[in-house]
Amino acid sequence: MTHRKLDILVLSDLHYIDKASHTGSIGKRNSFLGPLLIQKALQRLAYQNIRLDLMVILGDVVDNGDADGAEIDLAGVAHTAQDSGLPILALPGNHDGDAERFARIFGCHPGLHEINGYGLVLFHDSYAPDDTAARQHTELAQLKKIHAARPDLPLIALQHNPIHPHIESDYPYMLANADQVRTIYNESIVILSLSGHYHRGQPPHRVGNTMFYAAPAACEAPFIFSHVQVDGNDIRIHEHKLQMDVPGLTDVHCHTEYAYCGTTVTAEKDIRIAESMGIGKMYIVEHTFQLYFNQEDAWSYRWQTDQNMAKAGMTLNQGRMSQFKRFIRQFKSDYVGLGFEVDLCEDGSLLLADADRDGWDILLGAIHNIPGCAKGKTSQQRAEVLFLKETERLLEHPIQVLAHPFRFFRRMALAAPIHLYGTVAEMLARSGIAAEINFHTNEPDPRFIEECISRGVKIALGSDSHDLKEVGEFYPHLKVLERAGVTETELLKVLFRPH
């Protein structure tokens, strides 16, 4: 039988609590994250252009499967996993409650599953009240039968409890008959055994025909997930940390539930997630054009060219600005700064009323739309002329950061004007304004970053979070800085930090 390479996302021990009437007793478990850890892992691998074939979840999906509401939490994780479009192999742990319910929710039964020419065998080990468990003889016999009937099928065993090496502990991490299981794995040519349960994890190691690996708990910092590559007997396991390794990073650009373009972000969750992911300080900002106008008027951009409309939006208190100001100021702290993302009106003024200018920690200047530019109609040359003029006018205002530079051209389906990188970098240098690295629907060019750094322009990191999975994710930002030649020792010197 032929097989091909198999790329697997592996997560274990989410210990999710949301709707369940249960309070976790172990503080280091970030049980509020749950499905978000799956989304963040998928996003991280997508940044690395890794195409997955399968997602494996190795149990303890919830913290207490017997609590009222736990079934809703299980379903929430299952739906998030299934939304990825990948095949899902999930198995219950000792915290997940009824195994048949778990299998129904995830649509994943124990036994053999064939994917890409590999046989993945799921085991639902049952637990006693003291969390001890042993693999049933019938299941071990079934594994032998699978190998006897399909000797050409490379087998991968999936279970919650580690099999090898032995863990010295009063708590029963290991199956009671783990040694017997390991022997049968070797005899049945199980090439890989994947487990969870032991929150520290166990590094991959080979014993006989089998490589054993126990994935660390995803719910505990630094929030590890694994990318497992199987190519016959060539097995490679890469662990990824969702928490940022670099201390003291600042996110200057995170949105809230007041953003019309937001999906899942809320100020409260933004803060909690950013702290968990190791962000040193964050700034919560909102689009002023989405606060002064209703959704239809905001997206029309008529306020840019209609001075009466802009003036009415800023002065007649018909929008949500007053409401937003009352709402957002409750989150101000040493960790959280507050501000706005502001655009220009056609006359060059900022869309920010005098009454709304004071008391903020940061202003981001942004170009979302330029009057006179229309997608599919405006030429590259004309768009470049208008963009330079708009940028020059924007930098005359008291902003600290130019948000998502050059993203305008991507939105207009035009080429990135590489020949303008030095010009804009020089404009930023003269004005003392930082350039933002921003990956929200954007692909920053390291060549522009190089131009900025060579002129002493500071670089701001902006998640531009509209979805919670974007909060606290600076992996691509740090990689593009690396591509721009910024070394680890130079990193903190080039980064912008608001005063």
- Per-residue pLDDT of 71-125, as tens digits, reads 999 999 999 999 999 999 999 999 999 999 999 999 999 999 999 999 999 999 9
Residues 237 and 254 in one domain: no
pLDDT at res. 238: 98
Last residue of a domain, one of 191, 212, 241: 241
Domain membership flag for residue 352: yes
Residues 202 and 255 in one domain: no
Residues 148 and 211 in one domain: yes
Structural domain boundaries, residue 464: 250-494
Last residue of a domain, one of 211, 241, 271: 241
Domain membership flag for residue 422: yes
pTM: 0.96
Pairing relationship of beta strands 336-342 and 362-365 according to DSSP bridges:
parallel
Rounded distance, CA 352 to CA 291, Å?
10
Q: Which residues lie across from 77 on neighbouring strands? A: none
- Please say whether the beta carbons of 59 and 133 come within 8 A: no
Residues 258 and 221 in one domain: no
pLDDT at res. 25: 83
Rounded distance, CA 133 to CA 361, Å?
55
Q: What is the pLDDT of residues 156-166, one digit of tens each?
A: 999 999 999 99
Domain membership flag for residue 33: yes
Q: What is the pLDDT of residues 285-339, one digit of tens each?
A: 999 999 999 999 999 999 999 999 999 999 987 799 999 999 999 999 999 999 9
pLDDT at res. 248: 93
pLDDT at res. 24: 87
Rounded distance, CA 43 to CA 469, Å?
8
Number of domains the chain is built from: 2
Rounded distance, CA 145 to CA 150, Å?
8
Residues 269 and 219 in one domain: no
- Please say whether the beta carbons of 412 and 442 come within 8 A: no
pLDDT of 2 over the 90 cut: no
Domain membership flag for residue 193: yes
Rounded distance, CA 496 to CA 364, Å?
13
Residues 338 and 448 in one domain: yes
CATH number where 91 lies: 3.60.21.10
Residues 121 and 261 in one domain: no
Residues 103, 106, 109, CA angle at the centre, nearest 5°? 40
Phi, psi for 406 (deg, rounded to 5): 70, 0
Residues 297 and 396 in one domain: yes
Residue with tokens 């070394």: 487
pLDDT at res. 316: 82
Output the CA–CA distances (angstroms, integers) from residue 284 to 67, 79, 228, 247, 331, in the order listed.
35, 29, 36, 19, 9
Residues 210 and 358 in one domain: no
Residues 176 and 256 in one domain: no
CATH number where 319 lies: 3.20.20.140
The mean pLDDT value of the chain amounts to 97
Domain membership flag for residue 499: no
Q: What is the mean pLDDT of residues 246-264?
A: 97
pLDDT at res. 265: 98
Last residue of a domain, one of 189, 216, 241: 241
Residues 232 and 280 in one domain: no
Rounded distance, CA 17 to CA 414, Å?
45
Domain membership flag for residue 1: no
Residues 33 and 56 in one domain: yes
Q: Which of 254, 248, 255 is nearest to 281 (CA)?
A: 248
pLDDT of 1 over the 60 cut: no
Residue 180, Cβ neighbours under 10 Å: how many?
Answer: 15
